[in-house]
Amino acid sequence: MNKRIMLMSDSYNHISGTQRISKLNSLRNSLMDILSLARQVGFHELESEDIEQVLASHTEELTNEDLQLLTEQSAFEDSDDKEEPQ
């Protein structure tokens, strides 16, 4: 199993046996579904590792710096939306 899927699967450590296998299979199937859909809309160079990296990044805690950057980016995008003619 891929290292990133292993990291995401750490949250399943509290369940055992069949349930854990079922959850991991579900995770793998979801990953393949996302990859298939992405390729259908033109992301032909996308690999499963790319998707795993994004999914795994959502298990990481954000730092204060990350939160500040997100806030600044959101404010910038909001100002762009207001300037566009309708």
> For the segment 18-68, what is each residue's pLDDT rounded down to a tens digit?
887 787 788 889 889 999 999 999 999 999 888 888 877 777 788 899 889
| pLDDT in the model for residue 36 | 95
Give 63's DSSP letter.
Answer: P
What span, in angstroms and rounded, lies between the C-alpha atoms of 34 and 47? 10
At residue 9 the predicted structure's pLDDT band, cuts being 50, 70 and 90, is low
